[in-house]
Amino acid sequence: MPSEKPLQIRQRMAYEAELASIPWLTVLRPAERERAIAELRVGDAQAGDYVCRIGRPVTYWFGVVQGLLKMSSDNAQGMTMTFTGVPPGGWFGEGTALKREPYRYNIQALRKSVVAGLPIDTFDWLLDHSIGFNRFVMNQLNERLGQFIAAREIDRMNNPDLRVARSLAALFNPVLYPGVGEVLRITQQELAYLVGLSRQRVNEALAALHAQEIIRIEYGGLRVLDLEGLRSCMFTAKGNGSA
């Protein structure tokens, strides 16, 4: 069951191992890094907890230390549209933080996760004082733009196998999600939530990718064997398969 206590109340200081998994800390100068670490907070989210909610003011720039989050919104008909998943190493919401506008999406934990947050004032201070941090954020924004253009393309695909392949490729983005590496810890049900297909249909698509030696299905996750192949693979056998 999701916790009733807000994530912000359950915050704590980051452990050394958690700090080592935060990619942008390495681009900071000593004084910048010291200030950032002093201000960073970490929260333990249960499955179903909301990290951000539509309409709420931005207070932190968030990142995933462990676990898996999903970014989504609800349309006028009450249906949920999932934009992307956020695996370990991923930081998100820099556009919202820059503009200090209310969130236009929900971020929810799909499983027990560890989420880090940098206060918005510290985020702004780093932008004002750190060239390395500015470059990191610019790279994030550039990659994010490409990710959402690709997401629009995925939404229009009628081929379920392609939807799974391209969605998986997005989760293996080494710039946005450096903590993933070659193995993504994800269940078929979690992937089904992110892609918007049934678990059975996702299983069929993964089996096809496995047969082509593009991925390898392992206990508790997926190993990518050919990232470029995953990004560019084409299927013809099930061109109009349904969810």
* Residue 210 neighbours by CB under 8 Å, 6+ apart: 216, 217
Q: Give the number of C-alpha atoms closer than 13 A to the C-alpha of residue 77, restricted to the C-beta side.
A: 3
Report the pLDDT value the prediction gives residue 144, as an integer from 0 to 100. Answer: 83
Please tell me the predicted confidence (pLDDT) of residue 155. Answer: 60
Instruction: List pLDDT tens digits, range 166-175.
Output: 888 889 988 8
Q: H-type helices in 156-226, by residue range? A: 160-171, 188-195, 199-211
- Which CATH number is correct for 158-232, 1.20.210.10, 1.10.3720.10, 3.30.56.10, 1.10.10.10? 1.10.10.10
Higher pLDDT, 220 or 119: 119
The domain limits of the chain are 11-150, 158-232
pLDDT at residue 118, as a whole number:
96
Q: What is the pLDDT of residues 183-235, one digit of tens each?
A: 899 999 999 988 888 999 999 999 999 999 999 998 888 999 998 888 887 55
The enclosing H or E element of 207 equals helix 199-211
Structure token pair of residue 96: 């919202």
pLDDT score of 237: 39
Q: Which of 204, 177, 173, 174 is nearest to 188 (CA)?
A: 204
Which class is 11-150 in CATH?
mainly beta
pLDDT on residue 23: 94
